[in-house]
C-alpha cells in the first residue's frame, strides 16, 4: 500500500468486503480513499447420552426413518479448535463421497480428511502463530463440539454416545491456533465464515465468542453471520458462559439471524459413588489411594456389642471384617483411625457416612490410611445400615464416575443472559449444556479437553450450540427446500416451555422461547417471522406494535388461534386472535404492547399460535423494559480480569453497570477506591461509543505481594475486585 506500512494477510469477499491487514498505523489506512472503516482484531474465547432424551431426539429419529437418516446429506461447519480425526466418533466409511470434496486450506491436510470430515482449514497465519499445516485439535474443545453435533455412535466409559445428526458431514475450520489451541482472533473467525459459505456448508456452528458486547453496527463478526444467513447458511452460536448476570450474551450470538444457544441442565450428572442392589448412591472419594478397579464385597455395619456407636475409633477383633466393606459412622476420631482400624480387621474398603448434624456427603482427608474409601450422606448411610440389618448385601465402590439422575428443570448458572446489545431477545432457546458426555482429544496431554480414553464430561453453552446445530441438520435433512428463516423458526418456535423447578416459566431473557424439542421441530407446520418480538426499552407509557407473519407449511388450509401468555398484567394483545391461512401461504397479525403509568421493570410473555390441523403449538417470546436507570449491579468482565499478577504492574478492570431490567447504564459515573493492599487506582475510561455501558479502570498493584482489593460503587451497585500481587 503506497504511503502506508501495512501487510495484507488475507481478504474476505462473501460475508464482508474487507482486507485483513497488519499495521501500526490504522489512522493512515482510514485516510485512504474507499476505506469505510478500520476495526481492530480482537480475541475470541471458547465458549449423546441422556441429553438426547431431554430434547426428544429418539422420537424425531423414529419419525424420519431411524438414526441412519439423521442429518443425511447435510454439511456442518465447525469453527473451533480442530478435530481428533482418528476418534471413533468420526469414522463412517458408509457415507457417500460428495463431488467437489474433500477441500483443504493446504494440500498437506487433504490426506487427513475422510468421507465424514470433508473440509479442513486452519488459520494459523491470521492468528500470527507458526503454522502446523494441519487441523489437529491440540485443545480438545472442537472434538467435543463436533461429537455432539454429528458424531457416530461409539462407546465411551459412561456408555454409548451419539451426536444429534450422526449422518451429517463435517467441515473443520480450526480458528484457534497454538500448542494449547487457545489463540484465536476475530479476523480468523470472519475468514472462516467466508470459507464455510464458499465451501457449501449448510450449517455453521460457533461455540465461541467475544466477551464484551460491541455496538451492533460496529460488530463485524455479527455482520458476517447475518450475511452468511442471507447467503443461505444457518448459523448457530453459543450464547456464552458469563451468566448469571444480565446483558452477558456475547458476540456473535447477538447477531439477529443467529440461533443463539443458552444452557440448561442434563438429566444426569456423573460422580463417584456406591452401588447396592442396583441402586446408585452419591459418594465422594477420600484423598487416599484410589484403586484402578471398582471394589465389590459384602457390606458390613461395624456397629457391634463391643462398639454400639459404629464409630470404629478403636481396634476391634482381628478378621471381624475380613473381605468386606466396612460401613462406619462419622464421629470424633480421625478418618485415618477409622480406616486403619477397619483395615486391621480385614476390610477391603471403607464407607463412612455423615453424622446427623452434617448430613451431606463429604470428602475425607485420610492422612496415611491406605484403605480405599469414600464418604456418603447420613440419610444414605442410615438406609444402608437398615438394609444390612436383616440380610446380606453386596456393595460396589465405584471410583470411576457413575451416572446419577438430576432435575432438568434448571438453567445452568453460567449460561449468558439477555437483553442483547440491541435490546433483542437472546438466547433464542436453550439446550443441555451441563454434564455432557462427549469425545475428547487423546494426543496432546497439555490440552484442556484431553483424556487418554478419548472421552470426557464437560459443561458450557459450547455444547448446547452443537446440539442445536445437529438438530437443525436433522430438520433440514428431513424437510428440504425451506429458507434459512423458516428453518430457524421451526427450531426456535417449536421449543417446549422451560419450566423451572418451582413451576414457573423461565424468563425470556434467560431461556428465550424455551427448551429444544427436536420432534416438534420436525413435525411443526407453523413458521413465525420474526422468531421473537422485542418492544425494546422505553418509558412507563408504552404504545408499540410489531407485525408478525405466520406461514402455514401444512398441506391444507388451517385456522390458527393466537393467544397471549404473560406473567405480568397482560399488557400485550394480538389482532386478530384467529386467522385462516391457505396451505403454503402467509398472513400477518399485529402484536401490540400498550400501558399507562406502568411500573419500572420487565414485561414479557409468549404469543402462542396453534393450527386446528396441527399437533404442535408455536411459541414466540416478547419483551419490553421500562428501566429505572438506577444502578443495582456491577458486572465485571471476568474473562479479562487476572486473579493474580506480578507486583508493581499495571492492570485493568472492565465492568458494566446494570439496572434491575438488565439494561446497561451510561448516565452514572462509578467511583473506584482501594479497599486493602498497597496498590492504587488510576484513570477511569468509558468505552460506550464502541461497547455499550463498558467502563475500564486502570489499577496498579503495589510493591508487596498479597491481595489488592478495589471497590466499585455506583448507586446501589457495589462490587469488590481482588487481584493478588505475586
pLDDT of residue 15: 75
Residue 610 near residue 493 (C-beta atoms within 8 A): no
Buried b (16+ CB within 10 A) or exposed e, 110-126: eebbbbbbbbbbbbbbb
Q: What is the 3-state secondary structure (H, E, C) of 401-460?
A: EEEEECCCCCECCCCCCCCCCCCCCCCCEEEECCCEEEECECCCCCCCCECCCCEEEECC
Which positions ≥6 away from 651 have C-beta within 8 Å? 642, 645, 698, 699, 700, 701, 723
| Residues 310-346: tens digit of each pLDDT | 999 999 988 999 999 999 999 889 999 999 999 999 9
pLDDT of residue 373: 94
Q: Is 140 left (phi over 0), alpha (psi -120 to 50) or beta?
A: left
* Residue 120 to residue 135: CA distance in whole angstroms: 6
Residue 466 near residue 205 (C-beta atoms within 8 A): yes
pLDDT mean over 193-201: 98
Indicate the burial class of 507 (C-beta count within 10 angstroms; 0-12, 13-18, 19 or more): buried
pLDDT of residue 23: 82
Residue 415 C-alpha cell reads as 449460561
- Average the pLDDT over each of 146-155, 266-275, 516-525, 615-624 and give the range with the smallest value: 266-275
Question: If you compute the radius of gyration of the chain from its CA atoms, what whole number of angstroms results?
Answer: 28
* Residue 280 to residue 297: CA distance in whole angstroms: 15
Residue 56 near residue 517 (C-beta atoms within 8 A): yes
| Residues 636-695: tens digit of each pLDDT | 988 778 889 999 999 999 999 999 999 999 888 999 999 999 999 999 999 999 999 999
Coil, helix or strand for 3?
coil
| Residues 690-721: tens digit of each pLDDT | 999 999 999 999 999 999 999 999 988 999 99
pLDDT of residue 317: 87
* Residue 13 to residue 191: CA distance in whole angstroms: 9
Residue 589 near residue 528 (C-beta atoms within 8 A): no
* Residue 288 to residue 666: CA distance in whole angstroms: 54
| Residues 100-130: tens digit of each pLDDT | 999 999 999 999 999 999 999 999 999 998 8
Which positions ≥6 away from 97 have C-beta within 8 Å? 115
Phi, psi of 198 (to 5 degrees): -65, -30
Q: Which domains does the chain have, with CATH numbers?
A: 1-38 (no CATH), 45-267+412-487 (3.40.50.200), 269-405 (3.50.30.30), 529-626 (2.60.40.10), 633-725 (2.60.40.10)
> How many other β-carbons are positioned within 10 Å of the β-carbon of residue 37?
10
| Residues 352-393: tens digit of each pLDDT | 999 988 888 888 889 999 999 999 999 999 999 999 998 999
More confident residue, 37 or 253: 253
The mean of the pLDDT values for the chain is 92
pLDDT of residue 639: 75
| Residues 392-407: tens digit of each pLDDT | 999 999 888 778 888 9
Residue 244 C-alpha cell reads as 448469571
Strand order in the sheet with 671-676: 644-645, 717-725, 706-714, 671-676
Coil, helix or strand for 466?
helix
* Residue 375 to residue 364: CA distance in whole angstroms: 7
pLDDT of residue 589: 98
Coil, helix or strand for 113?
coil
- Average the pLDDT over each of 1-5, 204-208, 212-216, 505-509 and give the range with the smallest value: 1-5
pLDDT mean over 617-629: 96
Residue found under cell 493474580: 644
* Residue 276 to residue 393: CA distance in whole angstroms: 7
* Residue 3 to residue 6: CA distance in whole angstroms: 9
Per DSSP bridges, beta strands 169-174 and 6-12 are unpaired
On the question of pLDDT at 1 being above 60, the answer is no
Strand order in the sheet with 578-581: 532-537, 617-626, 601-611, 558-566, 578-581
Which positions ≥6 away from 713 have C-beta within 8 Å? 634, 670, 671, 672, 673, 719
Per DSSP bridges, beta strands 543-552 and 295-301 are unpaired
DSSP run (H or E) holding 707: strand 706-714
On the question of pLDDT at 46 being above 50, the answer is no
On the question of pLDDT at 535 being above 70, the answer is yes
pLDDT of residue 483: 97
Buried b (16+ CB within 10 A) or exposed e, 526-535: bbbbbbbbbb
| Residues 538-572: tens digit of each pLDDT | 999 999 999 999 999 999 999 999 999 997 766 89
Buried b (16+ CB within 10 A) or exposed e, 141-150: bbbbbbbbbb
pLDDT mean over 499-525: 96
Amino acid at each position: 500500500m503506497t504511503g502506508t506500512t501495512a501487510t495484507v494477510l488475507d481478504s474476505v469477499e462473501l460475508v464482508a468486503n474487507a482486507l485483513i491487514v497488519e499495521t501500526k498505523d490504522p489512522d493512515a489506512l482510514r485516510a485512504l480513499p474507499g476505506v469505510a472503516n478500520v476495526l481492530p482484531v480482537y480475541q475470541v474465547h471458547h465458549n449423546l447420552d441422556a441429553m438426547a432424551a431431554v430434547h426428544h431426539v429418539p422420537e424425531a429419529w423414529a419419525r424420519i426413518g431411524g438414526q441412519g437418516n439423521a442429518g443425511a446429506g447435510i454439511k456442518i461447519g465447525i469453527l473451533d479448535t480442530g478435530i481428533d480425526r482418528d476418534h471413533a466418533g468420526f469414522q463412517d466409511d458408509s457415507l457417500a463421497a460428495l463431488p467437489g470434496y474433500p477441500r483443504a486450506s493446504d494440500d498437506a491436510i487433504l490426506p487427513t480428511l475422510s468421507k465424514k470430515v470433508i473440509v479442513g482449514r486452519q488459520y494459523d497465519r491470521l492468528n500470527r502463530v507458526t503454522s502446523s499445516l494441519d487441523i489437529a485439535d491440540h485443545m480438545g474443545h472442537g472434538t467435543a463440539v463436533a461429537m455432539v453435533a454429528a458424531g457416530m455412535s461409539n462407546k465411551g466409559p459412561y456408555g454409548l454416545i451419539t451426536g444429534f445428526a450422526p449422518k451429517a458431514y463435517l467441515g473443520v475450520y480450526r480458528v484457534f491456533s497454538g500448542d494449547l489451541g487457545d489463540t484465536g482472533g476475530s479476523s480468523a473467525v470472519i475468514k472462516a465464515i467466508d470459507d464455510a459459505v464458499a465451501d457449501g456448508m449448510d450449517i455453521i456452528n460457533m461455540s465461541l465468542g467475544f466477551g464484551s458486547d460491541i455496538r451492533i453496527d460496529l460488530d463485524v463478526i455479527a455482520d458476517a453471520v447475518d450475511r452468511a444467513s442471507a447467503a443461505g447458511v444457518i448459523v448457530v452460536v453459543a450464547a456464552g458462559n458469563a451468566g448469571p448476570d444480565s446483558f452477558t450474551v456475547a458476540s456473535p450470538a447477538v447477531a439477529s439471524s443467529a440461533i443463539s444457544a443458552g444452557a440448561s441442565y442434563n438429566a444426569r450428572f456423573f460422580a463417584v459413588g456406591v452401588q447396592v442392589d442396583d441402586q446408585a448412591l452419591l459418594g465422594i472419594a477420600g484423598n487416599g489411594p484410589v484403586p484402578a478397579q471398582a471394589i465389590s464385597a459384602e457390606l458390613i455395619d461395624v456397629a457391634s456389642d463391643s462398639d454400639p456407636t459404629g464409630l470404629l475409633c478403636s481396634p476391634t477383633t482381628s478378621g471381624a471384617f475380613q473381605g468386606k466393606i466396612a460401613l462406619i459412622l462419622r464421629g470424633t476420631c480421625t478418618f485415618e483411625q477409622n480406616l486403619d482400624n477397619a483395615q486391621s480387621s480385614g476390610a477391603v474398603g471403607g464407607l463412612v457416612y455423615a453424622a446427623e448434624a452434617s448430613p451431606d456427603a463429604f470428602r475425607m482427608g485420610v492422612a496415611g490410611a491406605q484403605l480405599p474409601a469414600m464418604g456418603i450422606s447420613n440419610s444414605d448411610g442410615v438406609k444402608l445400615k437398615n438394609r444390612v440389618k436383616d440380610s446380606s448385601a453386596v456393595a460396589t465402590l465405584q471410583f470411576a464416575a457413575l451416572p446419577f439422575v438430576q432435575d432438568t428443570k434448571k438453567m445452568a448458572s453460567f449460561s449468558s443472559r439477555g437483553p442483547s446489545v440491541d435490546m433483542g431477545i437472546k438466547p433464542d432457546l436453550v439446550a443441555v449444556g451441563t454434564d455432557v458426555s462427549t469425545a475428547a482429544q487423546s494426543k496432546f496431554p497439555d490440552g484442556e479437553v484431553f483424556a487418554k480414553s478419548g472421552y470426557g464430561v464437560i459443561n458450557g453453552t459450547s455444547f448446547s450450540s452443537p446440539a442445536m446445530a445437529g438438530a437443525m441438520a436433522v430438520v433440514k435433512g428431513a424437510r428440504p427446500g425451506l429458507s434459512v428463516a423458516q428453518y430457524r423458526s421451526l427450531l426456535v418456535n417449536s421449543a417446549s416451555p422451560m419450566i423451572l423447578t418451582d413451576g414457573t416459566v423461565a424468563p425470556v431473557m434467560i431461556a428465550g422461547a424455551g427448551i429444544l424439542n427436536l420432534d416438534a421441530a420436525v413435525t411443526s407446520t407453523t413458521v413465525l417471522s420474526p422468531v421473537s418480538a422485542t418492544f425494546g426499552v422505553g418509558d412507563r407509557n408504552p404504545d408499540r406494535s410489531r407485525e408478525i407473519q405466520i406461514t402455514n407449511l401444512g398441506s391444507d388450509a388451517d385456522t390458527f388461534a393466537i393467544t397471549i401468555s404473560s406473567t405480568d398484567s397482560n399488557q400485550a394483545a394480538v389482532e386478530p386472535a384467529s386467522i385462516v391461512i391457505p396451505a403454503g401461504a402467509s398472513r400477518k397479525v399485529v402484536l401490540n404492547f400498550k400501558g399507562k403509568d406502568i411500573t419500572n421493570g420487565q414485561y414479557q410473555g409468549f404469543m402462542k399460535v396453534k393450527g386446528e390441523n396441527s399437533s404442535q403449538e408455536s411459541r414466540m417470546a416478547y419483551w419490553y423494559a421500562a428501566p429505572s436507570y438506577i444502578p443495582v449491579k456491577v458486572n465485571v468482565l471476568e474473562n479479562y480480569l487476572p486473579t493474580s499478577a506480578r507486583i508493581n504492574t499495571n492492570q485493568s478492570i472492565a465492568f458494566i453497570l446494570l439496572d434491575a431490567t438488565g439494561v446497561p447504564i451510561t448516565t452514572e459515573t462509578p467511583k473506584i477506591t482501594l479497599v486493602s493492599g498497597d496498590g492504587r487506582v488510576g484513570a477511569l475510561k468509558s468505552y460506550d461509543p464502541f461497547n455499550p455501558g463498558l467502563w475500564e479502570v486502570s489499577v496498579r498493584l503495589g510493591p508487596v505481594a498479597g491481595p489488592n482489593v478495589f471497590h466499585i460503587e455506583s448507586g446501589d451497585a457495589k462490587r469488590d475486585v481482588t487481584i493478588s500481587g505475586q
